[in-house]
Structure 1
């Protein structure tokens, strides 16, 4: 954003700048990291679930994966369903508690996870070079961390909470001096 010392940036100008950045940068970051996963009919989010499963010796439960990813159990279940459909993971029932199912990689899932780990590492290094090096990337990541911390403090934990109408409508009522139901 360019401005002179005598110009003060208005909120409308900031919104326009944010909208432009979203359209030209942020949405393409998602596309950039997702390109390697498309070949395997996956999203980057599904790959991240696979990666967490791969790091576990005995598999992960939906609850454990949800905690690791910082999202709801239903959000993880959607990703796991895609992985099950593609035969990249399987569910094993806990012999001591049949209600508990552990998600583990299949042989095909292990191959795909290794291939995607290598491809995403290579893309990250390309991004780092494009970004201007490690120091610039660290500053960018620091700003994103601060935004994330503020979002969590405001009650937004994971994508699902942004769309929880009941929760957000209660927050909105409270902020306008009315009591929540």
Structure 2
């Protein structure tokens, strides 16, 4: 039991000092363009899949359409994305990146790749892969399994 408490204290400390900082570390490249990391990911999807529909993004991300719509609003306001009406069904709209959106997405992607490359240089390719494998396993066995249990209640 004492060992469990020690591990809990260590987990809390890691969360407060490391994992919260990881969020800032990941989101910094997109923040320079007044975008959250989630908004960047949506822009990235639109740039690489011109004509994608809002409902497709929501399905891929396993979130509601309204959640994507809130993120999309910023992309539309900044003129990074436009909506085009479907010529067959004018109620449906596809999403297309503007030239400014494409430029911004490319710059953010370059910054993210450079940041990740620097991280691997410091941490090492092997240890980086091990860390990502371990986090992926933790996500599947603990986080996702817990989410599925909560949803089935």
TM-score (norm: length of structure 1)? 0.76
Q: Are 1:20 and 2:13 an aligned pair?
A: yes
How far residue 69 of structure 1 moved from its aligned partner, in angstroms, is 2.6
How far residue 169 of structure 1 moved from its aligned partner, in angstroms, is 8.8
CA distance in 1, matches of 2:35, 2:107: 13
Q: Alignment partner for residue 30 of structure 1, among 16, 23, 26?
A: 23
Q: Which residue of 2 aligns with 1:142?
A: 133
Number of residue equivalences = 152
Q: Alignment partner for residue 92 of structure 2, among 100, 113, 129?
A: 100
Q: Which residue of 2 aligns with 1:114?
A: 106
CA distance in 2, matches of 1:144, 1:85: 35
Corresponding residue SS for 2:52: coil
Corresponding residue SS for 1:136: helix
CA distance in 1, matches of 2:21, 2:65: 27
Unaligned runs of 5+ in 1: 1-7, 157-166, 172-181
Corresponding residue SS for 2:90: strand
Q: Are 1:65 and 2:57 an aligned pair?
A: yes
Instruction: Please identify, of 66-75 and 24-33, the stretch whose mean Cα deviation from structure 2 is larger.
Output: 66-75
Q: Which residue of 2 aligns with 1:84?
A: 76
Unaligned runs of 5+ in 2: none
Q: Deviations over 1:123-169 (max 9, x none)?
A: 11112123x2111111111111112212323335xxxxxxxxxx949
- Check 1:99–1:25 CA distance in 2 against 1; reply closer, same or farther (3 A cut): same
Corresponding residue SS for 2:79: coil
How big is the alpha-carbon RMSD for the aligned residues of Structure 1 and Structure 2?
2.1
Corresponding residue SS for 2:83: strand
How far residue 14 of structure 1 moved from its aligned partner, in angstroms, is 1.8
How far residue 101 of structure 1 moved from its aligned partner, in angstroms, is 1.3
Structure whose alpha-carbon radius of gyration is higher? 1
TM-score (norm: length of structure 2)? 0.88
